């Protein structure tokens, strides 16, 4: 009998306190999600990132050219927009983005630079923009014919 009591106490000690939340668990009261199960947005202030265009064709390029394009966007939502990062699909593409809060109604640019060195033929690249907007990710596309 003492073995079972000792084993139970040891298990509780190893796994954390019995019956209480682990320090690594999140309290669901801390999570605010403006979406509901029905897919509609509640009254929470939400950023909405809209782009004039999500694709740009550079046309014909000579191999070795570095060329840039700025994608214009607007925060069409009711909350501040925070861009957390931009990830390109290839090392030949680099994106620069605003690192400040963008208030509702304000706009900005994401500059995408394509480096054509070592490339030939039709090139398609993507930049994934991550933010606190709804939806949280936008994909910007560029293309070029490198000769």
pLDDT band (50, 70, 90) for residue 21: very low
What is the C-alpha separation between 84 and 98, in angstroms, rounded? 9
Q: For CA atoms 9, 11, 13, 18, give the dihedral sign.
A: negative
34 and 40 Cβ atoms separated by less than 8 Å: no
Segment 74-117, tens digit of pLDDT: 999 999 999 999 999 999 999 999 999 999 999 999 999 999 99
Segment 48-67, tens digit of pLDDT: 999 999 999 999 999 999 99
Mean pLDDT to the nearest integer, 25-47: 56
**pLDDT at residue number 44:** 78
Does a cis peptide bond (omega within 30 degrees of 0) precede residue 57?
no
Mean pLDDT to the nearest integer, 41-45: 67
Provide the β-strand partners of residue 2. none
Percent helix, strand and coil across the chain, each to the nearest 5: 10, 45, 45
**Closest of 121, 56, 128 to residue 86, by C-alpha:** 128
Question: In whole angstroms, what separates CA 72 from the centre of its chain?
Answer: 17
What is the pTM (predicted TM-score) of this model?
Answer: 0.70
130 and 96 Cβ atoms separated by less than 8 Å: no
Between 39 and 132, the higher pLDDT residue? 132
């Amino acid at each position: 009998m003492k073995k079972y009591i000792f084993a139970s106490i040891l298990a509780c000690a190893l796994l954390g306190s019995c019956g209480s939340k682990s320090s690594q668990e999140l309290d669901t009261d801390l999570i605010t999600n403006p979406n509901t199960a029905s897919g509609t947005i509640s009254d929470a202030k939400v950023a909405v990132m809209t782009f004039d265009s999500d694709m740009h064709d550079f046309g014909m390029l000579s191999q070795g050219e570095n060329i840039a394009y700025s994608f214009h966007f607007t925060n069409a939502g009711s909350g501040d927009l925070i861009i957390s990062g931009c990830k390109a699909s290839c090392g030949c593409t680099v994106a620069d983005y605003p690192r400040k809060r963008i208030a509702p109604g304000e706009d900005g640019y994401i500059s995408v630079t394509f480096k054509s060195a070592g490339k030939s033929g039709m090139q398609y690249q993507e930049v994934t923009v991550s933010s606190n907007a709804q939806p949280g990710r936008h994909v910007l596309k560029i293309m070029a014919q490198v000769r």
